[in-house]
Structure 1
Amino acid sequence: MSQKCLAFNIMQGGFQKEDAEKLITEEMVNHIEKDTKSSSTRLLSFLALIHWYVPGSHLSKLVCEEFIDPTKQPSDEDNPKLETIMKPFEDLIDIFSEEQEDRCVRLAHRVIADACLKRFTEHNVTRSDIALDFLNSMVKGKESNYGEICKNIFITRLETGKRKEQFSRLILDIMHESGYNHNQCIDLLEMAANLFSTDPYYPQTLARFYYIKVKEDNKYEKAEKWAEEAIKRNPNNSRIRDTLGQVHKNHLLSEAKNPSSDFKKCLAIAQSATDAFKKEEIAAENDPEDRTTFSYSGLLGFLQVCKIMNDTRFGKSYERRKHLNYISGLRGDVESRYDFFEWYLAFSRPSFEKEDPEYIHRDVENCYKKYFTQTAETTLNEKKMKSFGGLLHFLKSDINVVKEHQRALKHPQSDNETQTVLYILANIVLSQSGEQREQAEELQARLQKLWLREMQDRSPEFYLLILLLFWPDEAQPGITNPPNLENCVQYMGQSYERKYQKYLRGRYLVPLFFFGKEKGLQRLVHELKLDQINLELLTEGDGNADTECLQRINGEVKNQEVFAVRDGQQIPVTPHDPSSACKPGQVSFYLGFNIRGPVAYNIRYEENLSLQRSHVNRVL
């Protein structure tokens, strides 16, 4: 295939694997077989490696020319030396210019890179050989020029479905190619770790490789060494610190499976693990605010270690006594971390489309049950009845639990805000199944008394209940001076910033309730009462979508901000889709509430609807 045909096929998107195979001529194969150590063959292997694992990657022409063996340089000054030395492979290579860069060299297509790597493998030049040669010959001494490309090749893990792959694609391919000979990967990663001597991600990857893939008896000691080296390079990064905790946790899990587990050894490993996770938690608290999400791995890892130690059984009586004392000392730590996940998982998830992995919820609850075990399920349900996040959980799991425990719902003291908030939420939860202890008017009166006290530093949960019960659709008779919802939304946002912003940043805040058409507490509609079609219409549909059980709220868009307009109030509302608030005008929308405040879903510009109706009337 000529260069012109190749270029045309690539431009048309019609370049296939078969085309790449045809491009690699017998002459090229003979050149590779005859002289695998030549500059041209090695340079081709580098170009194939980087283009396959980092699509579109290239090397500068100047660097390629510096790499070429001086003894092989062409003597004819009229011929460009790179083009001459690479002539056997000229149909595979693209030399081009980029803005503000020297001339660049790359393979003409990623499929060609794959075909070349397979040809090299057939001639006993493995991916591991090529990568080691690339590090030694191109990267060494010029590490700053190759930092990004090497990180993509050796470190970056691809997303596959719900989870990331365990290692970079190159490392996984080398394992497969070598028949799972771990030494090749270790040698490669060690060289990279030594070259990039301040980068923590290479020793971190080595530590992970040792404890996940290696089978040797001393693998945990080696993993610990590299995990500590990673921390030394960046001690303030919580995600780097997490690896040391994971090494100890997996070591403990391995020891605990041994029927003759030694208590002293298990205890030492467990303490090393919990210490590592506690230090990770501190680092996570101090992670920079521009970090995309808060890292909860230290909190979860701590609970997982506690569960492993609780599950482990030791034979000797004095060991069992020490074991029980150790377990007893962890109860407070277990409860505080359980409390974190209870609200964290109730208020948020990774994104609108993505749920948290099921094992997080499972591991957190199972650990709590292990440490509060008289009657595990009853104890856990009683615990949930005493927290906002726990009560919300029953809406997704089993609302009957709240019914069974409603006798335990004592009328709160009028000045006790925490008790009142939980009591009102329990009534809202019960109302979702048609039951409640008090009517909306009575609950409003309780909240009204607390609102008038004008306390500082109230929780977002308190302001959420104010919005749910006092949203100006039906002002209840008998209550004068209702809460100012403009102020409420402002206070709620400030409270959210103080209490939850650090932990929930970068996550999707789930709608806890929507505003429906019924009266009293029945006007609050939980997400699970909406079918998937209605949810998609709310979040993805255009402004013409209608959801039968929900009420549209009138509002206005000004300066790309959305307001609900009611009784002279302009209540700020966050648009679920900011792009839908694209211009000033009168709008309507469906109203949801998350832990940060009210949210406008499916924004409809009313003038558009008027024009559509006018058009229909003219047609009729």
Structure 2
Amino acid sequence: MQVLWDMRKTFRCAVLTGSSSDITNVAKEVVNLFADGGQGFQNTVLLLVNDDHILENLQDSIMMEIAEQRIVTRMPVVIFFSCVRKNAVLQSDHVIIEAALSDTEEKKFNEKKEELRRRFGSKCEQFHGFNILQTNFSQDYVKQVCKVIRPVPRAKRPKRIQLVGFLSLLNAYVPGSYLLENQCLDLFKHKDYRMKPFSHLIITFQQGTEKRVCMAHSMIAQCCTELMAEAGVTRSDTARNFLTHLCRDEVPPFLLGFVKDMLTKREMKIKENPINSTEITEEPERFSRLILDIQKKEGETVSASVLKVASKKFDKNPYFPQALARFYYIELKDYKPAELWAKRAKQRDPQNSFIADTLGQVHKNHLKNKKSDVKPREILQLATKAIDAFKDEEGLAENEQGTDMKEDGETNVSRIFNSRGQFGYLQVCNLVHDQLVSQNETWKRVLTKAVPMGSVLELLGDNQLFEFKDLINSLRDEVAKKCDFFDKYLSYSKPDMKKDDPSYLYEDIAECYRKYVRNSPPEHVKEKGADFIQKLEQNVVDTSAGPLSCLDGEYSESELKEITTQWEEISLHKDSVTALVNYIFAHVMLMNRRAVLPHECKSLTAFRKKMPLSTDESPESHMLALLLDWPTNDEGKCSAVSQLIKCMRLSYKQSYEKDLRSRHLCPLFFIGKAQGLNRIVHRKTLEGLFERNNTIQDWSNNWSSEKIFKDRMVQDHLLKLDGMVRNYRLLATVGGTVIQVDANMRNSLWKHRQVSFYLGFTIRGPVAFGIHTKTAEREISETESELSPCEDTTTEPAVRMKFGASCSKMDSSDLTKLQPEVDDIHTYSLQSEAGQYECSVSALRWVCKEKVSFTYQFRSWEEHMKRPLCKDYMQAGPLLDISVTSGNIEELHLPHWICIGE
């Protein structure tokens, strides 16, 4: 807050408070705050946000709102000031504010202490928040202050001691929490509510119409909680009494939120890879800090008892019974009550797939911890329960739609597509296979459908197992289906730009595929070509994503050649666009490995004959069509490409948008400098080039920061395209036409400018990477005025720039001087109505008959003096790079300068 106060005259400062569920409305308020006062009075908003999960969505919504309001600006609309409280922080590019003063800060605090002592005398000894800072967060100071609560009676504790305990527990485990003053008075029954000798430990402050009460500092709250626990007033006792005395009748939403965080919010912790000590990741704790502390200091059953009280007290909230069910099956290994509470959680929110997941996890863990001598019948009974629960979860996940978080006060449904049900199913199948096969090898043939179950019942030793026939028969096909889903899910996307999926996800999926699918073809595959499909299944490529995922796997060149040969045979025997596409991509895959090919790709002509593709074809097919037909500067295929982009995005929406809606789409291919299929460059090829010059790799960071595109070898491999940024959209300029493409780094779109970039392709369509402002040599030229609009794309009005010399002089008395705005990269921005004007900085003069906006920058002469146009000239003044962003300039006067625009 101090930063906001210090910057209040520079920016329009604001804090995002309350629910962040309505991102669209928040974006509108931010843009309105920026634009308040109209043109010429706009100013950047500095927005304090304490939830880093909403930043990407909020950024996109703000950009859409700016475009909708047609705001053109050369300054940032908003700066996100993201401050998130964490107990464990990975080393990153974030600024970490720790509880420690610098020498300079310590000196200033000491000076302030003397000033306060002169003004307030001994009273300043009770300014605990300040004193804790001034003593550099001294634990000794905190312990000295908190001694006042000793001794603490275990029985018949005065109400004031109870209130200190409640506030301490709440503030120690939920930073920023509070109680209302009237809630505290209700505790005293409005009788004797004097808090001495503890009154200096508690503060009351006004927030709107409410009077709020909390401990003076979170360190004091933590110390009081610890001292009371040492005196026998345990955390669990305080928590239960808190729920009993302060959560009676109807609990206000703010207090329910605090209790929910205290009992169910899982903090992030740092986890080190036991195999690779340099690999460190973040993962959530098993339970909330309070529950973990109670478990450590008081025992597991006591932790469960606190969650049980909360589950009964808040009888409509699903999160407390969910946490209780998790505690029973994870810590206590008691599966009957775990199942009971998981079902109660599900009853309270029957449409929430994430709540439903808990029941499946209970049964899965029960199965996992069964003794090795358990009978097959028991294994299959438990597996049936787990599979039914996960299939129910999968069905609920299919129905959870929406781009924003949905909130009704108690239940949050994530915008994330929940794939846990499908993954849980595969984990159960792994357990079933391991436990059954370990008892009898015959199960291996039964589970892969190599033999019918009914024909080997005697070998299995139990005729009653036949009742599980339907379950057993469904496993192999369901495993193949779910592995196909994850093949695309993991090949095409990742959780976000800076985070990868955990390695166990890949391992468990691959293991399940090997156990159930690898050694047996599906029964329906009996036609010619079945042998090839069988071999492809063994390489996990019998899907539309198959060839595209091969480069992410560890396949040898010989294996890839075999896959390519197999797809070639299939494409010859099946009249299928997918088969053609897979063969061509397999061929491209080999070319990216620099393999020696026996012949050229034979299916290109056949594929081109099937164009234009219908929107019913897969996004992979449309991507291949785009890669083949993307125009170079001497090709005029803009209208066809625009239609292909439109079809690909529609196909993506139909095929993958629901499943990948919250995930970051990974680039699959890039346009290179070569010709034909050789110009299609796979992501892994770029990583290989980058790897040669860099020993330590952090691929998530290399891609998210676009560091990889700064490598010279990568740059030499890729084709650089030109374009322009207009209204938060990137328009590629190819062959005299404009094509709208997405940008990988959305923060590259805030300023109107001419740019260059590399073109990549995700499964949704073309995306620009490595966006950079073009050099002055290639700045706005006559080419821009000749850009013709493409079908179904948005274009900017083009203006032909005419250059010429003039000997006439302008009368300075007729000019209106204007002061330009200047941004952090020294771009000067000017706006004017019709008239004659002069810039007060550069003496640049212009005449316009309508409202006009333009920018300019001072450039270096060095690169231009080598050009033939400048050969006979010497430098005689500054060089200006001028860009008109809206309107028209009739005359532009540059005294003693020359114009070298083309």
CA distance in structure 1 between the partners assigned to 2:167 and 2:160 by the alignment: 11
**Counterpart for residue 366 of structure 1:** 511
1:388 maps onto 2:544 in alignment: yes
Out of 652, 668, 678, the residue aligned to residue 522 of structure 1 is: 678
Corresponding residue SS for 1:388: coil
Out of 718, 721, 724, the residue aligned to residue 556 of structure 1 is: 724
- Does structure 1 conserve the Cα–Cα contact (< 8 Å) formed by 2:564 and 2:587? no
More displaced 10-residue stretch of structure 1: 382-391 or 114-123: 382-391
**Counterpart for residue 77 of structure 1:** none
Matches within 5 A, 1:13-412: 14-25=136-147, 27-30=148-151, 32-33=152-153, 37-68=157-188, 70=190, 73=192, 81=193, 85-98=194-207, 100-145=208-253, 146-161=255-270, 162-178=282-298, 181-215=299-333, 219-255=334-370, 258-289=371-402, 290=404, 291-313=414-436, 314=439, 317-319=459-461, 322=465, 327-374=472-519, 382-400=538-556, 401-410=559-568, 412=571
CA distance in structure 1 between the partners assigned to 2:131 and 2:604 by the alignment: 70
1:382-421 superposed Cα distances (whole Å, 9 cap, x missing partner): 4533323232222122342212333323252595211111
**Counterpart for residue 645 of structure 2:** 489
More displaced 10-residue stretch of structure 1: 314-323 or 289-298: 314-323
**What's the offset of the Cα at 1:135?**
0.3
Matches within 5 A, 1:356-505: 356-374=501-519, 382-400=538-556, 401-410=559-568, 412-413=571-572, 416-435=576-595, 436=597, 439=600, 444-452=604-612, 454-473=613-632, 484-505=640-661
1:112-159 superposed Cα distances (whole Å, 9 cap, x missing partner): 111111111110111111101100111122323421111101111122
Matched residue pairs, number?
593
**What's the offset of the Cα at 1:603?**
1.6
**Counterpart for residue 614 of structure 1:** 860
**What's the offset of the Cα at 1:543?**
13
Corresponding residue SS for 2:203: strand
Greater Rg by CA: 2
- Does structure 2 conserve the Cα–Cα contact (< 8 Å) formed by 1:310 and 1:327? no
**What's the offset of the Cα at 1:19?**
2.5
**What's the offset of the Cα at 1:36?**
6.7
**What's the offset of the Cα at 1:28?**
2.9
Which structure has more relative contact order (CA 8 Å, sep 6+)? It is 1
More displaced 10-residue stretch of structure 1: 513-522 or 528-537: 528-537
**What's the offset of the Cα at 1:330?**
1.5
1:176-227 superposed Cα distances (whole Å, 9 cap, x missing partner): 011xx22211211111111111111111111111111114xxx211111111
1:508-564 superposed Cα distances (whole Å, 9 cap, x missing partner): 111112223333333333223333779767643699956343232101112111121
Amino acid in the other structure paired with 1:402: L
**What's the offset of the Cα at 1:350?**
0.6
Label 1:152 to 1:514 Cα distance change in 2 as closer, same or farther (>3 A): same
CA distance in structure 2 between the partners assigned to 1:276 and 1:13 by the alignment: 55
CA distance in structure 1 between the partners assigned to 2:751 and 2:332 by the alignment: 59
CA distance in structure 1 between the partners assigned to 2:308 and 2:657 by the alignment: 39
**What's the offset of the Cα at 1:7?**
4.0
Corresponding residue SS for 1:250: helix
CA distance in structure 2 between the partners assigned to 1:582 and 1:50 by the alignment: 43
TM-score, normalization: structure 1? 0.88
**Counterpart for residue 782 of structure 2:** none
- Does structure 2 conserve the Cα–Cα contact (< 8 Å) formed by 1:590 and 1:601? yes
Amino acid in the other structure paired with 1:238: S
CA distance in structure 2 between the partners assigned to 1:234 and 1:437 by the alignment: 60
**What's the offset of the Cα at 1:481?**
7.2
**What's the offset of the Cα at 1:607?**
5.8
- Does structure 2 conserve the Cα–Cα contact (< 8 Å) formed by 1:448 and 1:482? no
In angstroms, what is the RMSD of aligned CA positions? Answer: 3.0
More displaced 10-residue stretch of structure 1: 129-138 or 58-67: 58-67
More displaced 10-residue stretch of structure 1: 568-577 or 274-283: 568-577
Amino acid in the other structure paired with 1:97: Q
1:548-583 superposed Cα distances (whole Å, 9 cap, x missing partner): 432321011121111211123322211112121112
- Does structure 1 conserve the Cα–Cα contact (< 8 Å) formed by 2:493 and 2:663? yes
Label 1:231 to 1:266 Cα distance change in 2 as closer, same or farther (>3 A): same
- Does structure 2 conserve the Cα–Cα contact (< 8 Å) formed by 1:444 and 1:470? no
- Does structure 2 conserve the Cα–Cα contact (< 8 Å) formed by 1:537 and 1:545? no
Amino acid in the other structure paired with 2:242: F
Out of 566, 573, 576, the residue aligned to residue 734 of structure 2 is: 566
Label 1:319 to 1:158 Cα distance change in 2 as closer, same or farther (>3 A): farther
Amino acid in the other structure paired with 2:584: I
CA distance in structure 2 between the partners assigned to 1:544 and 1:132 by the alignment: 57
**Counterpart for residue 76 of structure 1:** none
Corresponding residue SS for 1:374: coil
**What's the offset of the Cα at 1:16?**
3.2
CA distance in structure 1 between the partners assigned to 2:325 and 2:224 by the alignment: 32
Unaligned runs of at least 5 residues, structure 2: 1-121, 271-281, 405-413, 441-457, 522-533, 780-856, 864-874, 880-902
**Counterpart for residue 78 of structure 1:** none
Label 1:471 to 1:311 Cα distance change in 2 as closer, same or farther (>3 A): same
Label 1:113 to 1:379 Cα distance change in 2 as closer, same or farther (>3 A): farther
TM-score, normalization: structure 2? 0.62
1:241-295 superposed Cα distances (whole Å, 9 cap, x missing partner): 111111111111222xx23211222211111111111111110100132432110
- Does structure 2 conserve the Cα–Cα contact (< 8 Å) formed by 1:57 and 1:106? yes
Judging by fraction of residues, say which structure has more helix: 1
**What's the offset of the Cα at 1:600?**
1.1
**Counterpart for residue 506 of structure 1:** 662
More displaced 10-residue stretch of structure 1: 363-372 or 527-536: 527-536
Corresponding residue SS for 1:87: coil
1:540 maps onto 2:705 in alignment: yes
Amino acid in the other structure paired with 2:240: L
Corresponding residue SS for 2:401: coil
CA distance in structure 2 between the partners assigned to 1:118 and 1:383 by the alignment: 58
**What's the offset of the Cα at 1:239?**
0.8
CA distance in structure 2 between the partners assigned to 1:91 and 1:548 by the alignment: 68
- Does structure 2 conserve the Cα–Cα contact (< 8 Å) formed by 1:155 and 1:167? yes
**What's the offset of the Cα at 1:380?**
7.0
